[in-house]
Amino acid sequence: MKFTTALTMTAMLLTTAAPLSAETLRWARSGDALTLDPHAQNEGPTHTIRHQMYEPLIIRDVTGAFVPTLATDWAPKADDPNVWVFNLRQGVKFHDGADFTAEDVVFSFERAKQPNSDMKELIGSITEVRATGDYTVEIVTDGPNPILPSNLTNLFMMDKTWTEANNTVKVQDFEGGEITHATLNVNGTGPYTLTSREPDVKTVMTRNDNYWGINDFPMEVTEIVYTPIQNAATRVAAMLSGEIDFLQDMPVQDLERVNAADGLVVKQAPQNRVIFFGMNQGADDIEADNVDGKNPLADVRVRKAMSMAINRDAIKQVVMRGQSEPAGMIAPPFVNGWTAEMDAESSTDIEGAKALMEEAGYADGFSIRLDCPNDRYVNDEGICQAAVGMLGQIGVTVNLDAKPKAQHFPLITDGKTDFYMLGWGVPTYDSEYIFNFLVHGREAEIGTWNGTGFNDADLNATIKSLASNTDLEARNADIASIWRTVQDEALYIPIHHQVLNWGMAENVGIEVDAEDQPKVKYFTMK
C-alpha cells in the first residue's frame, strides 16, 4: 500500500530559491469557491482558493503551528492585557504593486465586522483596531483574549485603496445573490495572482514572482488550474487519465484503484471536521413536516430518538468504506474541549428510540424533509440517503432534498431549513469557535450558523465570557459545562469525523493538512 499519513511539515518549510522551470498544478475537487470576496463566506473550500491569492496576518502549517505571514510577530501589550500588538511585514506588495501597510489591516478588520460578513463571529471581541505606525497595529478587545491569534488564520487582508476604487467596501450580500467586483476579482498579497475566473468551471492562477516569500517557500508551481468536478466518477477518471495531478474529495470507493495506478499515490490523515445533522427545535411549528400545530423536533425525546436510530458504524463501513470515525459530539479530537467520553455517547438503539418516540406522542412517527449538500463533504448525499432508511425504522419518513452547497448553505444561514446536514471544522482548535457559530442564539454578529433555534440567555452569556476568561482552568470548566448542555439537549445529531484522502501524481510533493486547505506555495514538483 502506498497510503501515507501526514506527520510533519518540516521538509516543506526548507528555504529554496524559486525555480525557473514552468510547472502547472492541475487541481480538482468536488466544489468551487462560493465567492472570492474575502469576508463574505466562512467556508473551507472558499478559504482554500483565497489562501492562494490573499493572506491573513497568520497561517497554520499542517502541524497546526502558527506561521508568521503578513505579521512577523505578535503579543499582548506589556501594560495592557486587553491589547494585542502586531508587527507587520515590511516591503510587501499587493498584486497591483501597491504597498501593504497598517492602514490596510485596520480597513480589513473593519470590513470583516460588517453585517454581511461571515467572519464577524471570529472577531466579535474586538472593539478597535488602530494603526500605531505604518507597520504596527494594536487590536483592542473587550477583555483579555488569550486565543485571539487563533481566530485570525482565515481573516484576509485587502487593499483599502483598491477596494474603495472598485466600489466594493461593502461585503457582498452572498445570501441575497449580489455580485460585486470583489466576487470575481482579486488584489491580494499572496503567492499567486488571479488570471481567469469562471465560477463552477475553472479558475487559473499564476505565480506571483514579486511575492515577499518567493525565496522562503518552495514556490515550484508556476500555474494553478483549478477545476471543480462535482461527479465523483468523473473526478476519478480525470485523475486516472492524467488530466489532473492533484485531487481533493477523493471518493472512498476509489481509493484503492487510484492508489494502485502507476504514477499516482493517495495520502491520508484525520481531518479537523465533524459531519452532523441539525434540527429546528426552536419553532412552535415547522414547515417541512406533516404535523400540524406543533414541532416534533422541539421535544428532546424525539431528537434523542433520531440520534439513536443512526447506525454510525454502518455508515462508516458501507458508505464511507472505513474512511470515517463515528462521532458522539460535534467537535473533532483536535479541539480543546473534546473528550473521549463525550465522543462515545452516540449509540444505536432502535427499540429504545421507538420507546422514546411513543413516550413523546409520536408512536406512528411523522414525515420531514432533510436538506443535504451533494458537493461539499465526502459522500454527503450517500450519508443522507443512509440516514433516510435508518430513521424510517422508527417511523420518521424522510424526504431527501440534495442540492449544491451554494444553494444549501443559505438555507441554514437564512433559517429556511428544519432538518439539515452540516460539517464543521475548527481552525482555532478551541470549542469557543463552535459555540459562537453553532450554539449561541442567533443574533446579528453571533450564532449565524445556528439553525436549531436553540437560544438560552445564561448559556449565551457563558459563551461570550470565554473570549476574555484568562483563568484557563475556569474557562475549560465552562467549556465542559456548555458541552454538557449541548449533549443533554441533543442540539445536533453527530455522525462522524472525516478522514481526508488526497490523490496526487507521484511528482507532486505535499502532506495532507488536517484543515483540508492545501497551500500551493508549499508544493514541490519533482
- Is residue 381 domain-shared with residue 471, that is, in the same domain? yes
- Is residue 277 domain-shared with residue 372, that is, in the same domain? yes
pLDDT at site 474 = 97
Q: State the Cα–Cα distance between residues 159 and 165, nearest whole angstrom.
A: 10
Dihedral angle of Cα 358, 363, 367, 368, to the nearest 10 degrees? 0
499, β-bridge pairs: 270
pLDDT at site 412 = 97
Dihedral angle of Cα 233, 234, 236, 240, to the nearest 10 degrees? 130
Q: State the Cα–Cα distance between residues 336 and 151, nearest whole angstrom.
A: 14
Nearest to 508 by CA among 492, 520, 494: 520
pLDDT at site 7 = 36
pLDDT at site 64 = 87
How many helices (H) and strands (E) the chain has is answered by 15, 20
Identify whether the C-beta of residue 145 lies closer than 8 Å to the C-beta of residue 468: yes
Q: State the Cα–Cα distance between residues 8 and 20, nearest whole angstrom.
A: 27
CATH assignment of the domain containing 69: 3.40.190.10
- Is residue 114 domain-shared with residue 55, that is, in the same domain? yes
CATH assignment of the domain containing 395: 3.10.105.10
- Is residue 492 domain-shared with residue 360, that is, in the same domain? yes
Concatenated DSSP letters of 359-426: HTT-TT-EEEEEEEESSSSTTHHHHHHHHHHHHHTTTEEEEEEEE-HHHHHHHHHTT--SEEEEEEE-
pLDDT at site 181 = 98
pLDDT at site 17 = 42
- Is residue 176 domain-shared with residue 132, that is, in the same domain? yes
- Is residue 20 domain-shared with residue 76, that is, in the same domain? yes
pLDDT at site 62 = 85
Alpha helices in 114-170 (DSSP H): 160-165
- Is residue 225 domain-shared with residue 333, that is, in the same domain? no
- Is residue 207 domain-shared with residue 317, that is, in the same domain? no
The structural domain count of the chain equals: 2
Residues of the chain with pLDDT under 50: 1-20
Burial label, 456 (beta-carbon count in 10 A; 0-12, 13-18, 19+): middle
Give the residue numbers spanning the domain of 156.
4-263+506-525
pLDDT at site 22 = 87
Q: State the Cα–Cα distance between residues 308 and 324, nearest whole angstrom.
A: 18
- Is residue 243 domain-shared with residue 351, that is, in the same domain? no
- Is residue 238 domain-shared with residue 289, that is, in the same domain? no
Q: Residue 166: how many CB atoms within 10 A of its CB?
A: 14
- Is residue 185 domain-shared with residue 48, that is, in the same domain? yes
Identify whether the C-beta of residue 54 lies closer than 8 Å to the C-beta of residue 188: yes
Nearest to 53 by CA among 196, 218, 178, 152: 196
Torsion angles phi and psi, residue 266, rounded to 5: -110, 125
- Is residue 211 domain-shared with residue 291, that is, in the same domain? no
